[in-house]
Amino acid sequence: MDLTLATPTLLFPASSLLFLAYTNRFLHLSALIRKLHVDFLQGHHPAVQAQIRNLKIRLWLIRWMQAIGVLSLLFCLASMGAFFFEGVDQAKTLFGIAVALMGGSLVLSLAEVLLSGGALAIFLRDMGEEAVRTRGKDDET
């Protein structure tokens, strides 16, 4: 397989879009944590506590998917540097590492997306239990 200096540049457009998506997820999660902090201070509702556990994991995932994505970009830059200095074998190795790291970042992103659905399920489950309790009281009167 022929790799040239232009090959590692293919990761740059994907990287900028991924970092934009990762940053948006982080900002959304930050706002949600701030809101849940207020809810937590008002009362230790079980659904809020379950959300906090879920958010801790998601925050950890987002930090690592961002860090691994940055490492991928750095290896991509190193690959381009190796091509520039005519170290083709090193460039291929560095680019392979960059692609593997980008794949790892995407796997963590997928895990975080799947976990975010679980966060919504916590609230839906809690609202469903509250609706059943409220409906039961209305039926008695």
The tens-digit pLDDT sequence of the chain (141 residues) is 677 667 777 777 777 777 788 888 888 877 877 777 777 777 766 777 777 788 889 889 989 998 998 999 899 889 989 988 888 899 899 999 999 999 999 999 999 888 887 767 776 776 666 554 555 554 444
Q: Are 83 and 2 spatial neighbours (Cβ–Cβ below 8 Å)? A: no
Sign of CA dihedral 124, 34, 20, 112: negative
- Going from the C-alpha of 113 to that of each of 22, 29, 49, 85, the distances in angstroms are 11, 12, 20, 40
| Domains of the chain by residue range | 8-136
CB neighbour list of residue 112: distance below 8 Å, 6 or more residues apart: 25, 58, 61, 62, 65
CB neighbour list of residue 119: distance below 8 Å, 6 or more residues apart: 51, 54, 55, 58
pTM over the 0.75 mark: no
Q: Are 100 and 29 spatial neighbours (Cβ–Cβ below 8 Å)? A: no
Report helix, strand or coil for 45: coil
* Phi (first) and psi of residue 61, to 5 degrees: -60, -45
